[in-house]
Amino acid sequence: MASSPLTVRKREGRLAPETVAALNADLSARFGNRFSASDAIRRQHAHTLTWLENQPPDAVVFAETREDVVDLVAICARRDAPIVPFGIGSSLEGHVNAPHGGVSLDLSRMNAILAVNAQDLDCVIEPGVTRTRLNAYLHDSGLFFPIDPGADASLGGMASTRASGTNAVRYGTMKDLVLSLGVVTADGTFVRTGTRARKSSAGYDLTHLFVGAEGTLGIIVEIALKLAGLPEAVSAATCSFPDVRSACNATIETIQTGLPIARIELLDTLSVRAFNAYSRLSLPEAPMLLVEFHGTEASVAEQAARFGAIVAENGGGNFIWATKPEERTKLWKARHDGFYAQMALRPGARPFATDTCVPISRLADCVEETLEDIARSGLLAPIVGHVGDGNFHVSPLVDMADAKEIEAAEAFASRLAHRAIAMGGTCTGEHGVGQKKIAYMEDEHGAGALDLMRRVKAAFDPRNLFNPGKIFTV
């Protein structure tokens, strides 16, 4: 007998008022003051940093233990209510929106650092731990966790979106640094997806099925992470170029020659202007690379010399070095505050933030074509990028009262995504799909692969309880 195909239930609209009332009664009885249905709390948990409309949940639950999550899944399954995981709400693609209502599961109180295994260079944490808190905890151990998106995101959220950051070119992204996960599935089962071993050939790689799943397959309640040793020597610098293509070409050559650079970040002229104003810097207003080298004193000096030669060959120069810790901290804080610096260029506007990633050989082409597109569109849209792995961000600043401007920004974002995909790249390098990038998934993956993703979803969550309306349509 042929088996029936796996399918995911399609959700229509939001929960009925009587269902919400019964759900909230159950949640109040189980969670007490860790349950809220207040308008302010619900709106806070649908907060989006960009232009997307907020779609609040019907209720919010603040989990503190794995058992809380298991019980919440049981209640929501009984009431057929969606569950939307929430870390700190720093995602940019609508991941925390609740288009079908249900419960926002706030995991920020599950913030224990359960173990640090210094000899093995790993740790085990709960999902609400943020990257800065983990690194503060690790400081005296001589270890650090290198992934650093602009926001001080929760590590559960970072795993769920397969995040990366300025150090990714040297240390990898979340997919490289997650060893295993503890996950609560749609039937309330707790599952560990792997061990702390650095490699395994034992069965399916369940860990990396959940990393990047954006909470659509299960709820992450525990994470084992690889750590790195603090480098003996660190040196950072900025260098300027006559144009963005020259900066990108220097980046491409740096990567292709195998220089083990730790950070290499692109700023276009508009972004430099924004950083100067917001972070009180005095960088030359020209296309620029921000770089950092890690290693021994001798290796850092060698890397810097090799990089300097590449920069000169591509018409760049005007190096400004930051060798003291406080100088480096100021520089990289400015980079991490870049999103807010860009927003300050046009007070009152909303950022139409998007990101993409292409093979490194196509970086200069993609960025240059994007700059030309920005000029034609008339948008105010600064560019920054973790360009060492071909990833860059564009944030058109849009007057949400101007329908033509919104239309222009939407059309621009669509062209950017399709441009990157046509160059062998992706519609999102690190933001994730959420709601905004669903439209590009078939173009990037093809109908067959997208159907396979839906069947994976059906196997794990056929009732579509976990974060419905994200990654793909049903």
| Domain at 27, CATH number | 3.30.43.10
d(CA 145, CA 158): 12
Q: Per residue in 403-430, pLDDT tens? A: 999 999 999 999 999 999 999 999 999 9
| 203 and 216 in a common domain | yes
pLDDT given at position 195: 97
**249: containing domain:** 233-340
Establish if 257 belongs to a structural domain: yes
Establish if 471 belongs to a structural domain: no
The CATH number linked to 217 is 3.30.465.10
| 124 and 212 in a common domain | yes
d(CA 356, CA 383): 11
| 330 and 350 in a common domain | no
| 125 and 90 in a common domain | no
pLDDT given at position 52: 80
Judged on CB neighbours under 10 Å (0-12, 13-18, 19+), 368 is: middle
Establish if 191 belongs to a structural domain: yes
Residue type for position 311: V
Domain tally for the chain?
Answer: 4
Taking residue 349's Cβ as centre, other Cβ atoms within 10 Å add up to 21
Establish if 92 belongs to a structural domain: yes
pLDDT given at position 2: 44
| 380 and 357 in a common domain | yes
Helix (H) or strand (E) holding 443: helix 441-445
- Asked which of 312, 340, 368 is the last residue of a domain, the reply is 340
The CATH number linked to 272 is 3.30.70.2190
pTM score: 0.94
| 195 and 121 in a common domain | yes
| 145 and 59 in a common domain | no
Establish if 11 belongs to a structural domain: no
pLDDT given at position 47: 74
- Asked which of 306, 340, 374 is the last residue of a domain, the reply is 340
| 186 and 103 in a common domain | no
| 333 and 314 in a common domain | yes
d(CA 199, CA 380): 46
d(CA 100, CA 313): 55
The CATH number linked to 365 is 3.30.70.2740
pLDDT given at position 252: 98
Residue segments in the chain with a per-residue pLDDT below the cut of 50: 1-4
280-288: long-range pairs with CB below 8 Å, 24+:
281/330, 281/334, 283/238, 283/320, 284/240, 284/318, 286/240, 286/241, 286/242, 286/318, 287/240, 287/241, 287/242, 287/243, 287/244, 287/246, 287/247, 288/238, 288/239, 288/240, 288/241, 288/247
| 117 and 104 in a common domain | no
| 391 and 334 in a common domain | no
Establish if 470 belongs to a structural domain: no
- Asked which of 321, 340, 359 is the last residue of a domain, the reply is 340
Establish if 328 belongs to a structural domain: yes
| 223 and 135 in a common domain | yes
> DSSP state, 308?
H
Q: Per residue in 22-72, pLDDT tens? A: 999 999 999 999 999 999 999 999 877 777 889 999 999 999 999 999 999
Establish if 458 belongs to a structural domain: no
